[in-house]
């Protein structure tokens, strides 16, 4: 029997409270349950399910992180990493999203297309970390294709409302796709504006000499200056964090929740914004997933 989730009820911390079932400012930058119904709800909603008293031997999930006012260094997510230029310098953040072929990452549009052209010789290094040039424990993955909205390419007045991109990666030398190696996060295409999220990114070396990932858990609110966007107040998100994932229902690296957007803007390191993924973003994702 195939279970398809149609909608989710989540509390502020991202815990799934119910599920319907049937048989997605300026630029700055697989969980298994014993019960199949719990598996369907968790996979579809990206958050922990409130188990019924007779849910069997399902292990309890770790508690969600407490809200923060400033970002802190953390061990990182294997599926999150950096975009590197031809010289090996990281300039933006990105993360692997769940896709049929396992070869798609999400980042900000301004990270891969600017000044009228696509960025060239870009590679993705998941779980990047370390001083200097940094360490790439899972290697560097070459870009096959980039999908950005036509409004971003044309630099229209509303281009900031589509500052997201989906990038298709080539397999590695062993023929493996990136998701097969580091995992990937499901996407929520209908996220509400007010959510508790954990945001991950890699600030530039001037503010992050150890080149380590940072994270902040906080509550989002609608961005009054940009329709369809949300903002968060958390310091430490300097240049380089653009394109980093906004994860709703995050518990720990093994339970990352669902991706609702990527860091796309913010006037200071303490205020960051993300365009919520929606039906338009999904069209780009679908194109990337078919490459």
Identify the pLDDT of residue 61: 87
Identify the pLDDT of residue 217: 98
Identify the pLDDT of residue 134: 79
The burial of 204, by beta-carbon neighbours within 10 Å (0-12 exposed, 13-18 middle, 19 or more buried), is given as: middle
pTM of the model: 0.80
Q: Do residues 14 and 195 touch, judged by C-beta distance below 8 A?
A: yes
Q: Do residues 197 and 216 touch, judged by C-beta distance below 8 A?
A: no
- Measuring CA to CA, which residue among 118, 96, 62 is closest to residue 200? 96
141 CB-side CA count, 13 A: 36
229 in helix, strand or coil? strand
181 in helix, strand or coil? helix
Regions in the chain scoring below 70 on pLDDT: 1-58, 132
Using alpha carbons, list the distances in angstroms from residue 15 to 10, 18, 19, 32, 176.
Answer: 5, 9, 11, 16, 33
- Measuring CA to CA, which residue among 30, 56, 24, 57 is closest to residue 42? 30
Identify the pLDDT of residue 277: 98
Q: Do residues 12 and 195 touch, judged by C-beta distance below 8 A?
A: yes
């Amino acid at each position: 029997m195939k279970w398809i989730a149609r909608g989710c009820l989540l509390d502020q911390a991202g815990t799934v409270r119910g599920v319907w079932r049937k048989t997605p400012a300026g630029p700055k930058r697989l969980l298994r349950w014993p019960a199949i119904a719990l598996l369907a709800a968790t996979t579809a909603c990206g958050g922990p399910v409130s188990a019924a008293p007779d849910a069997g031997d399902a292990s309890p999930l770790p508690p969600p992180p407490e809200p923060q006012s400033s970002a802190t260094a953390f061990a990182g997510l294997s599926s999150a990493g950096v975009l590197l230029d031809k010289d090996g310098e990281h300039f933006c953040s990105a993360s692997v999203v769940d896709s049929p072929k396992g070869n798609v990452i999400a980042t900000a549009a301004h990270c891969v297309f600017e000044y009228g052209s696509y960025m060239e010789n870009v590679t993705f290094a998941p779980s990047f970390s370390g001083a200097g040039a940094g360490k790439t424990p899972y290697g560097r993955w070459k870009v096959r294709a980039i999908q950005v909205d036509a409004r971003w390419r044309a630099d229209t007045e509303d281009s900031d409302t589509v500052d997201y991109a989906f990038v298709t990666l080539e397999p590695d030398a062993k023929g493996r796709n990136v998701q097969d190696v580091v995992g990937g996060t499901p996407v929520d295409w209908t996220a509400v504006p007010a959510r508790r999220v954990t945001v991950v990114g890699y600030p530039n070396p001037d503010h992050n000499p150890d080149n380590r990932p940072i994270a902040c858990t906080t509550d989002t609110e609608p961005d009054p200056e940009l329709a369809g966007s949300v903002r968060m107040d958390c310091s430490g998100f300097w240049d380089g964090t653009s394109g980093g994932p906004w994860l709703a229902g995050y518990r720990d690296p093994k339970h990352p929740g669902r991706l609702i957007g990527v860091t796309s803007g913010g006037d200071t390191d303490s205020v960051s914004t993300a365009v919520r993924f929606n039906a338009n973003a999904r069209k780009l994702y679908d194109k990337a997933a078919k490459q």
